[in-house]
Amino acid sequence: MEKEPEKILETKYNQAVQTIKTAILQSQYQAIKLINKEQLTLYYGIGRYISQNSRIVFWGTGAVAYISNRLQIELPGLRGFSERNLKNMRTFYEEWQLLENNSAVTVAELNEEVTGIPQIRQLQLPNFNSFPIEEFFQIGFTHHTAILSQVKNIEERCFYIKICATELLKVDTLKKLMKEDLYHKQGSLPNNFMAKLSSAELAQRAIMAFKDEYILDFINVEELGARDLEDVDERIVENKIVQNIKSFIMTFGRDFSFIGNQFRIEALGHTHIIDLLFFNRELSSLVAIELKTGPFKVAYLGQLNMYLRLLDDFVRKPNENPSIGIILCKSADKAYVEYAVRDYDKPMGVSTYKTASDMPERLRNALPDIEELKKLL
CA angle centred on 299, ends 295 and 305, rounded to 5°: 115
The DSSP bridge partners found for residue 361 are none
Give the contacts of 275 (CB within 8 A, at least 6 positions apart). 234, 238, 261, 262, 288, 289, 290, 291
CA distances to 45, 80, 342 from 136, in Å: 16, 20, 22
pLDDT above 90: percentage of residues in the chain: 27
* Tens of pLDDT, residues 139-194: 999 999 999 999 998 889 988 998 888 777 889 888 988 887 878 766 568 888 88
d(CA 355, CA 351): 14
What span, in angstroms and rounded, lies between the C-alpha atoms of 133 and 128? 9
pLDDT, residue 109, reads 47
Distance CA 368, CA 16 (A): 54
Residues 6+ apart with CB under 8 A from 300: 290, 292, 327, 329
Per DSSP, the three-state class of 336 is helix
Question: pLDDT tens digits for 227-260?
Answer: 344 444 566 666 666 666 666 666 676 688 889 8
Q: In the CATH hierarchy, which fold is given to the domain comprising 207-376?
A: Trna Endonuclease; Chain: A, domain 1 (3.40.1350)
Q: Specify the pTM.
A: 0.52
Other residues' Cβ atoms within 10 Å of the Cβ of residue 146: 19
User: HSE-up of 103 (CA within 13 Å, CB side)?
Assistant: 17
pLDDT in tens, 5-30: 677 777 777 777 877 877 777 777 67
43 to 32, 52, 60, 108, 229: CA distances (angstroms): 16, 14, 22, 8, 60
Structural domain spans, the chain: 6-185, 207-376
